[in-house]
Structure formats: C-alpha cells, structure tokens
C-alpha cells in the first residue's frame, strides 16, 4: 500500500465501541455461511451505489460473476484482482466447494453488499435489518470481507 494511502487509512475517523459482543455457535462444519462485502456490489441493472449510500444490495446465492457490477465510489483499492476472479472479493465459488466437501454446513441463499466508503455508523440500521433476514434463513456465520 502506498504510504500516502496507508496514512490516510490510519487516520480515518472510526466509531468507538466500549464492549465487544460475542455470540457462540456450533462447529464450522455445521454452520450456514453468508458473505457480507463492502465492495459496492450490486446486481447488473439494479441501482448502483450513490455517494454516501448506507444502503445495501442482496446478492442471490446462485449469482455468477457476470451478474454483478461494482460501483464503489473509491479508486483507492485494487480492482484488477476482482476483474480477473470475483472470488478474491466475493468467494461464492469457494463457499460452494467447501459446503460440497463438508468443511462448512451450507451456503446461505442470500449474501449482501454495502459500499464501504460511507461512515459505518450510518449502516447500523441496515445491518440490523440484514441480521433479521439472516436469522430467518438460519445463517449462523457471517464472513465479512472489506476491500
């Protein structure tokens, strides 16, 4: 990472948390796993992310890389890796393989994307909303992947 960018990242204002919640669950091999990305991913044809957007998009579990576009507002991260292989950002193929091999229990039917340039505190209500949908489909493991 270029030093100027590293310095910028280190000095971003961050939300403060006095405590850390901690929810336990079964072994990984028994978990239903969902992905949450902050890469600004949406389904092609769906509304892209706007400036300051704290909203989210749903990525169906059977989506393929050609179904998805990235509209993250920042250019300060590499996109060429994602262009070559979406799994480096949204590893749905890997999760499907791991579920098939019994390493994880199952892959969720729905995955989610935010656009990470927004103040995360503004995403709290959207995250609660998503958590409700996840609970409804039995998700008990979320892999959070930033860019």
Partner 1 sequence: MSALAHYFETAGIPTTLSALVREHAEAMHPPRALAVPFELGRPLGAPEDSAFQRRVITAALALLERPSGPVLEDYPEDAPADAAASEADEGWACPVSFAQPKADAPTTFAARLQAEVAQMKPWHEAWKRRKGFSGVGAAGAEVEALADYLGQFADGADVSPPVAAAQPADGMKLAINDLMTFYQEAANAQPGTAGGIQQISDWFWTETVAGETLLAARKVSKTGDDKRVAFVLDRLALPHIAAVHDR
Position 136 contacts partner 1 (CB under 8 A)? no
Cα dihedral: 147, 113, 145, 122 (round 10): 80
**According to the binding rule CB under 8 A, does residue 30 interact with partner 1?**
no
CB-count burial class (<10 Å; 0-12, 13-18, 19+) for 44 = exposed
117 binds partner 1 (CB under 8 A): yes
Residues in a beta bridge with 34: 142
d(Cα 107, Cα 63) in Å, to the nearest integer?
12
Identify the residue among 59, 63, 92, 95 touching partner 1 (CB under 8 A). 95
One of 97, 99, 106, 110 touching partner 1 (CB under 8 A): 97
Residues 47-86 that bind partner 1 (CB under 8 A): 48, 50-51, 65-66, 68-85
Q: Is 28 in the site for partner 1 (CB under 8 A)?
A: yes
């Amino acid at each position: 990472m270029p030093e100027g960018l590293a310095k910028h990242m280190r000095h971003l204002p961050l939300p403060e948390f006095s405590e850390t919640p901690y929810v336990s669950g079964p072994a990984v091999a028994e978990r239903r796993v969902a992905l949450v990305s902050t890469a600004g991913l949406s389904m092609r044809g769906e509304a892209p992310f706007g400036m300051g957007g704290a909203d989210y998009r749903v990525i169906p579990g059977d989506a393929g890389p050609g179904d998805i576009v990235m509209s993250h507002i920042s250019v300060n991260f590499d996109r060429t890796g994602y262009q070559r292989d979406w799994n480096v950002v949204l590893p749905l193929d890997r999760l499907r393989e791991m579920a098939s091999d019994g390493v994880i229990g199952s892959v969720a039917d729905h995955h989610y994307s935010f656009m990470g340039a927004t103040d995360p505190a503004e995403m709290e209500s959207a995250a609660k909303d998503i958590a409700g949908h996840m609970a409804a489909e039995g998700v008990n493991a979320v892999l959070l992947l930033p860019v």
